[in-house]
Amino acid sequence: MGSVVATHPIIARLEALLPAGAVLHRAEELHPYECDGLAVYRRLPLVVVLPETVAQVQAVMRLCSELHVPVVARGAGTGLSGGALPHSEGVLLSLAKLHRILELDPMARTARVEPGVRNLAISEAARPHGLYYAPDPSSQIACSIGGNVAENSGGVHCLKYGLTVHNLQQVKIVTVDGELLTLGGAGLDSPGYDLLALITGSEGMLGIVVEVTVRLLPLPERAQVVLAAFNDVTEAGAAVAAIISAGVIPAGLEMMDQTAIRAAEAFVHAGYPTDAAAILLCELDGTNAEVSSEILKVRKILLSSGASEVRTAENEAERQRFWKGRKSAFPAVGRLSPDYYCMDGTIPRKRLPEVLQRMGQLSEEYGLPVANVFHAGDGNLHPLILFDANKPGELEKTEDFGRRILELCVEVGGTITGEHGVGMEKIDQMCVQFRPMELEQFHAVKAAFDPHGLLNPGKAVPTLHRCAEFGAMHVHHGELPHPELERF
């Protein structure tokens, strides 16, 4: 085949299909695409394409199918599980140039948009109509709706308003062989199998999302946040349980531990009590009357759950400041240490105190500090492990620690991902989460869309062979799970 990489025949064919400048294949052009938000995995693709129309996406897919070339789709590249990590022999298909809002229908309360539209841009466009798009991942300024569909993204408000899948009406995809399919429809339900839900969270493994119709919600009349400080993390966990048991459904219910509180406070001056062991942020939204009555109820519960201090934001500026601390928690913690590794797992709410305690024990065992910032209301944890990649062996130790946390989540009846997806990062933990026959069913579904495995190969669902190997590695933990990859 000669020097395959430099002269791969697909490059000229792609250049013939796409506008000038839409095919990148020189090393310096490829570098910006070598990783997504999980920069621990880096790899250069064979070629990057930037189509501007659905027809161009179809043409690219037809060509890749013809030549049996792998394709990795990429939105804004903010994903945190390495799902958009390129394939070294494949096409990196960026949807960034499909970024138009096609239609906003206030009466149907929907917005029809291209996949490259930023999450927040939808709410900005809807605001003049008194509407907004509810799912709000921390990256909402930058992340794109196509990526949100691929990862089934959540956010602070998913406790009340659900994940991406609960806020979609229709998605158009381009299949591996270039066909355009419409999934879902105008109604709440749609006949036939629910391929709309199936594609949501499928991490680019089943098709390329080229159009998304999202449901919009009326802007609540009022939103208000209550901040409670606790001297003990377990008490804060019990307060979460008490709020939920009382029948309150907060718009958001977030917890931060002392490390996270101090980091956020030093970074953005949110006004957090830095001596607290943990804080809860509880947002209530709805009509004025509803929010007033629920705030009273929540304050009472928090005080009787042992909160040392309960503050209600006095105005919108203070409410925004309280949230700013939470939303900046990841970069804030990042300032404490040369590197940090953000985990994402889900546990049943009632196991929260136990899991926090065991995570503390693991932190001591590994000698690595952990900051905890999480969606307490739905049991979605985001432990941030602090480490220094320049110290020999510390990255591997961190990854091993991370694996133990995910396996702890599974052990207590939870899952290895809440909202960040499996991607490259957690593919081995899928072997812990699922039994072989369940993985086989996933592969059968994959084959129904992509029989030759060209879409995002090696991600999200492990082969049974890989699980068998991982089983062995699991016994001798401490080894690298992905030795074939370059590390930073």
Residue tagged 């006949």 (tokens): 191
- 117 vs 244, beta carbon nearer a second copy: 244
| Three-class SS state of 249 | coil
User: Which tokens go with 306?
Assistant: 């042992």
- We find the least distance from the C-beta atom of residue 6 to a second copy, in angstroms, to be 37
Cβ atoms 171, 209 nearer than 8 A: yes
Q: How far is CA 247 from CA 13, 14, 177, 185, 311, in A?
A: 59, 56, 49, 33, 21
CA angle, 393 then 389 then 43, to 5°: 100
The per-residue DSSP string of 57-77 comes to HHHHHHHHHHHT--EEEESSS
- 161 vs 387, beta carbon nearer a second copy: 161
State the pairing for strand pair 383-387/370-375. Answer: antiparallel
- We find the least distance from the C-beta atom of residue 456 to a second copy, in angstroms, to be 13
- We find the least distance from the C-beta atom of residue 190 to a second copy, in angstroms, to be 6
- We find the least distance from the C-beta atom of residue 379 to a second copy, in angstroms, to be 6
- 317 vs 437, beta carbon nearer a second copy: 437
- We find the least distance from the C-beta atom of residue 226 to a second copy, in angstroms, to be 16
CA angle, 474 then 480 then 482, to 5°: 105
- 384 vs 416, beta carbon nearer a second copy: 416
- Integer Cα distance of 208 and 181 in angstroms: 10
Q: How far is CA 383 from CA 157, 346, 375, in A?
A: 19, 11, 11
- 304 vs 441, beta carbon nearer a second copy: 441
- We find the least distance from the C-beta atom of residue 388 to a second copy, in angstroms, to be 30
Cβ atoms 148, 164 nearer than 8 A: yes
Q: How far is CA 291 from CA 95, 253, 294, in A?
A: 40, 15, 5
Cβ atoms 150, 209 nearer than 8 A: yes
- 71 vs 240, beta carbon nearer a second copy: 240
The per-residue DSSP string of 259-295 comes to HHHHHHHHHH-----TT-SEEEEEEEEESHHHHHHHH
Q: What are phi and psi of 479, to 5 degrees?
A: -80, 160
Residues in the chain: 488
- 48 vs 431, beta carbon nearer a second copy: 431
- We find the least distance from the C-beta atom of residue 281 to a second copy, in angstroms, to be 18
| Three-class SS state of 94 | strand
Cβ atoms 84, 139 nearer than 8 A: no
- We find the least distance from the C-beta atom of residue 443 to a second copy, in angstroms, to be 9
Cβ atoms 60, 93 nearer than 8 A: yes
- We find the least distance from the C-beta atom of residue 70 to a second copy, in angstroms, to be 19
- Integer Cα distance of 151 and 140 in angstroms: 13
- We find the least distance from the C-beta atom of residue 361 to a second copy, in angstroms, to be 22
**DSSP helix, strand, coil percent of the chain (3-state; round to 5):** 40, 20, 40
- 20 vs 188, beta carbon nearer a second copy: 188
- 30 vs 416, beta carbon nearer a second copy: 416
Cβ atoms 167, 133 nearer than 8 A: yes
- 142 vs 241, beta carbon nearer a second copy: 241
- We find the least distance from the C-beta atom of residue 462 to a second copy, in angstroms, to be 10
- 290 vs 400, beta carbon nearer a second copy: 290
- We find the least distance from the C-beta atom of residue 488 to a second copy, in angstroms, to be 25
- 165 vs 214, beta carbon nearer a second copy: 165
Cβ atoms 78, 147 nearer than 8 A: yes
User: Which tokens go with 123?
Assistant: 């709410």
